[in-house]
Amino acid sequence: MATVNLAAAWIGILCGFVAGAISGLFFANDGWLGGYSSWPRRMVRLGHISFFGLALINFAYAVTVRVMELASISPWPSRLFIVGAVTMPLVCYLSAYRRGFRHLFAVPVLSLVLGVALFTFKEVLP
């Protein structure tokens, strides 16, 4: 499963570059998405940076599995990290579009917290 997380990490980095390039076309416009401190613009920035942050989480997972030679581990941390990496930027961009989507942040946050807890306390520290 670690190979899937490694691929997810590099795809996340690519998505972060593309998202940054697209939003970078408009950042010089002070009024873009309601101004610098507006909710939509903050959510777009958060979505952009979440691609990179969660790519690093997936990368760290893949490297840890290989370095610690964890061959027979639960697939759940891997799956939960990927769910978090997909849903966090998605919820950020949806929340920029409509504030009510912010209630969906529970999905990526819970998947990431659960993934870290499962991996740390069942695989890394026992």
3-class SS at 95? Answer: helix
CA of residue 81 relative to chain centroid, distance: 8
- For the cut 90, the answer to whether the pLDDT of residue 2 exceeds it is no
Q: Domains of the chain: which residue ranges?
A: 2-124
In angstroms, rounded to a whole number, what is the distance separating the alpha carbons of residues 95 and 100? 7
pLDDT in tens, 73-105: 899 999 999 999 999 999 999 999 999 999 999
pLDDT tens digit string along 36-54?
Answer: 999 999 999 999 999 999 9
* pTM of this structure: 0.94
Residue 126: what pLDDT?
75
Comparing 51 with 28, the larger pLDDT belongs to 51
The alpha carbon of 60 is separated from its chain's Cα centroid by a whole number of angstroms, namely 13
CA 35 from chain centre, in angstroms, equals: 25
What is the spatial distance between Cα 115 and Cα 121, in angstroms, rounded to a whole number? Answer: 10
d(CA 118, CA 35): 40
Distance of CA 93 to the CA centre of its chain: 12
Which residues touch 108 (CB under 8 Å, ≥6 apart)? Answer: 83, 84, 87, 88, 91
